[in-house]
């Protein structure tokens, strides 16, 4: 396969060639200025990004230090022990209440037994003569 042939035709330069070249040169200068400004903006953006990265790294370090200090000062084992002690005290209090109810129940049972004995004695004394009847 052979390369395509390119035919060059002789073209006469237009009459306003000098004006067009001048316009193009002006546009190239403007573009060069814009490129320099863009390069400067990019350099400034890199500086700002570097500073922001350092700030973020510094903040992360401070946050990490704060977390470590907070966790170190907040002793979970001590909290757990304290809670266990408090719940043990609550359990002891319930045991005391239960024992108190048992004691009261015993006293009420004893009082009921004594009252029953009194009733029996009264009936025994008066029962022979029909004086007392307890319903």
Instruction: Give 113-122's long-range contacts (Cβ < 8 A, gap of 24+).
Output: none
Question: How many CA atoms are closer than 13 Å to the CA of 135, on its beta-carbon side?
Answer: 0
Residue 12, domain member (yes or no): no
What is the pTM assigned to this prediction? 0.37
Per-residue tokens: 27: 């546009």
Q: Is residue 9 included in any domain, yes or no?
A: no
- My answer on whether 57 and 83 are in the same domain is no
How many CB atoms are located within 10 Å of the residue 132 CB?
13
Specify the number of domains making up the chain. Answer: 2
Domain boundary among 50, 74, 98: 74
Structural domain including 95 reads 76-135
- How many whole angstroms separate alpha carbon 1 and alpha carbon 93? 105
d(CA 132, CA 123): 6
Per-residue pLDDT reduced to its tens digit, 72-96: 777 777 778 888 888 888 888 888 9
Residues 81 and 135 in one domain: yes
Do 81 and 54 lie in one domain? The reply is no
Instruction: Identify whether residues 81 and 132 lie together within a single domain.
Output: yes
Q: What pLDDT band is residue 66 in, cutting at 50, 70 and 90?
A: confident
57 and 91 together in one domain: no
pLDDT tens by residue, 44-61: 999 888 888 888 889 888
Please identify, among 53, 74, 95, the residue that sits at the C-terminal boundary of a domain: 74
- Say which residue the tokens 């024992």 belong to: 99
């Amino acid at each position: 396969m052979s390369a395509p042939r390119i035919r060059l035709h002789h073209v006469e330069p237009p009459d306003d060639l000098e004006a067009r070249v001048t316009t193009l040169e002006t546009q190239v200068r403007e573009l060069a200025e814009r490129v320099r400004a863009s390069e400067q903006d990019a350099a400034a953006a890199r500086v700002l990004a570097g500073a922001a990265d350092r700030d973020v790294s510094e903040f992360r370090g401070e946050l990490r230090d704060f977390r470590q200090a907070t966790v170190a000062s907040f002793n979970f084992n001590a909290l757990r022990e304290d809670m266990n002690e408090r719940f043990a005290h609550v359990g002891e209090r319930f045991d005391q209440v239960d024992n108190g109810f048992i004691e009261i129940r015993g006293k009420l049972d004893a009082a009921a037994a004594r009252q029953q004995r009194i009733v029996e004695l009264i009936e025994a004394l008066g029962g022979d003569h029909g004086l007392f009847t307890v319903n």
